[in-house]
Structure 1
């Protein structure tokens, strides 16, 4: 499976992730959505928003990003702030 074949991700997301060295779904799952988002943010990816964080979390969990509970989103943001 390719990154862009994961739920919530598409060609653009796959390209962004590959630009920061994340090349397959297993690697994304191992790093986690927050670390992947940090790498994208640090790389200065234009147009990056928190929707990318939700999309990656949903991709890892295989759920629609819109169904991620508010509590989980708060946890992700707290983890992001820690780094």
Structure 2
């Protein structure tokens, strides 16, 4: 997979999500993979307080290739715990 391709080529992230990520300076697959879903979510939320947890599920889905609804069901707790830990360290 070419990680330098734009975020727009990933499945699961619509135009609004892509726009919010771009405002946070995240425009390529490489950047998203390097940051991971938690850090990308935190950075995006900093520049747009209206961001919901659906973005977190979408980011994890885009990175792993797993459908976002499966991510929300299977990985919800671990993602929320990781997010909580990340926010404690700010």
Does residue 75 in structure 1 map to residue 87 in structure 2? no
Q: 4+ residue stretches of structure 1 with deviation over 3 A?
A: none
Question: Offset of 1:47 from its aligned partner?
Answer: 3.2
Which residue does 2:44 correspond to in 1? Answer: 40
For residue 6 of structure 2, the aligned residue among 2, 9, 26 is: 2
Unaligned stretches of 5+ residues in structure 2:
none
CA RMSD of aligned residues (A): 1.5
CA separation of 1:69 and 1:20: change in aligned 2, threshold 3 A? closer
Normalising by the residue count of structure 2, what TM-score does the alignment of the two structures yield? 0.81
Normalising by the residue count of structure 1, what TM-score does the alignment of the two structures yield? 0.87
What's the CA shift string for 1:24-74, capped at 9, x where partnerless? 01110110000011011122x153110000000000001210112634221
Which residue does 2:32 correspond to in 1? Answer: 28
Unaligned stretches of 5+ residues in structure 1:
none
Per chain length, whose mean CA-contact separation is higher, i.e. which structure has more relative contact order (CA < 8 Å, sep 6+)?
1
Count of residue pairs the alignment pairs up: 82
SS in 1 for 2:13: coil
CA distance in 1, matches of 2:11, 2:61: 7
For the pair shown, the structure with the greater C-alpha radius of gyration is 2
